């Protein structure tokens, strides 16, 4: 399967300037805490914006992964190149085929933004399908809630690092690679606008940003998993692992 890695940049035109608050909302300030509604609005807007270059038919389903880099820039991995943007929202895209020549034991640096979850099994009913839970919040379960204290912040940072490492290592064996180094650079709980999915309750999910180094074990399996993406919330900019030679 052919893959394309594209870099898309929002155009600097009077039209996009007038629409900027809608198509590229400002993120929250750095001291907004770990629950970030502004980031949720931004991810939802970007999710809709990228359809401008990938929804080439009314019945098209999402078949691409994307990552926001800030300043109106995005990386997109797709099985087909982006289509012409008739609305002029983007600059001409930079597109290249994505077919790295990987061999076993190659070492790659990576960055990954992921919604990491696991199935929590009810001990009273182990035969039932487990409920999906955020891996960080699952580790934090039982700590006092309410106002964020220094103690809880430290516990949250430690839980994010431990849970993120464990989550990616658990998936590495079936994804054709091994984790050599990993650091969690941020963890945020992102509430989405209430209209998303037509739900009454406000949906939200955790976002882990990870960086590090991996070792390729099975190049074919690894590339298939890169194309599929990691974790959930892929429609909202999670799951795309960017790699380069270490």
Max alpha carbon distance in the chain (Å)?
A: 60
Distances (CA, A) of 42 to 51, 77, 131, 145: 15, 20, 27, 26
Measure the CA–CA gap between 62 and 94, rounded to whole angstroms: 20
User: For position 28, what pLDDT does the model report?
Assistant: 61
Nearest to 27 by CA among 15, 47, 41, 17: 41
The tally of CA atoms less than 13 A away on the side-chain side of residue 230 is 28
Measure the CA–CA gap between 21 and 40, rounded to whole angstroms: 14
User: For position 63, what pLDDT does the model report?
Assistant: 87
pLDDT, tens digit (0-9, with 9 covering 90-100), for 167-216: 999 999 999 999 999 999 999 898 877 666 555 666 788 999 999 999 99
Q: Is the pTM of this model over 0.85?
A: yes
Q: Given pLDDT bands bounded at 50, 70 and 90, which one contains residue 232?
A: very high
Question: In what side-by-side order are the strands of the sheet with 64-70?
Answer: 64-70, 73-78, 4-9, 94-97
The answer to whether residue 29 scores a pLDDT higher than 70 is: no
**Mean pLDDT across the stretch 84-108?**
90
User: For position 31, what pLDDT does the model report?
Assistant: 46
Measure the CA–CA gap between 51 and 59, rounded to whole angstroms: 12
SS (H, E, C) 99-121: CCCCCCCCEEEEEEEEECEEEEC
Q: Go through the chain and tell me how many residues it has.
A: 246
Nearest to 3 by CA among 72, 86, 102: 102
37-50 helix and 14-23 helix, angle to the nearest 10 degrees = 130
pLDDT, tens digit (0-9, with 9 covering 90-100), for 106-164: 999 999 999 999 877 665 555 566 678 889 888 877 665 555 567 777 878 888 999 99
């Amino acid at each position: 399967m052919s893959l394309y890695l594209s870099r898309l940049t929002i155009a600097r035109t009077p039209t996009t300037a007038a629409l900027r608050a809608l198509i590229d909302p400002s993120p929250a300030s750095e001291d907004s805490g770990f629950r970030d509604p502004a980031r949720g609005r931004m991810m939802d807007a970007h999710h809709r914006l990228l359809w401008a270059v990938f929804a080439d038919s009314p019945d098209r389903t999402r078949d691409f992964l994307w990552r926001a880099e800030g300043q109106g820039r995005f990386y997109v991995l797709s099985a087909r190149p982006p289509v012409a943007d008739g609305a002029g929202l983007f600059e001409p895209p930079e597109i290249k085929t994505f077919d790295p020549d990987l061999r076993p034991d190659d070492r790659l640096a990576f960055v990954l933004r992921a919604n990491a979850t696991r199935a929590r099994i009810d001990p009273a009913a182990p035969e039932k399908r487990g409920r999906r839970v955020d891996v960080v919040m699952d580790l934090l379960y039982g700590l006092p809630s309410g106002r964020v204290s220094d103690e809880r912040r430290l516990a949250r940072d430690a839980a994010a690092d431990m849970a993120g490492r464990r989550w990616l290592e658990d998936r590495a064996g079936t994804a054709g690679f091994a984790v050599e180094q990993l650091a969690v650079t941020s963890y945020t709980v992102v509430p989405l606008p209430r209209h998303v999915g037509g739900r009454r309750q406000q949906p939200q999910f955790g976002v882990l940003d990870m960086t590090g180094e991996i070792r390729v074990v099975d190049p074919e399996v690894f590339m298939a998993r890169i194309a599929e993406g990691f974790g959930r919330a892929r429609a909202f900019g999670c799951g795309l692992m960017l790699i380069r030679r270490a």
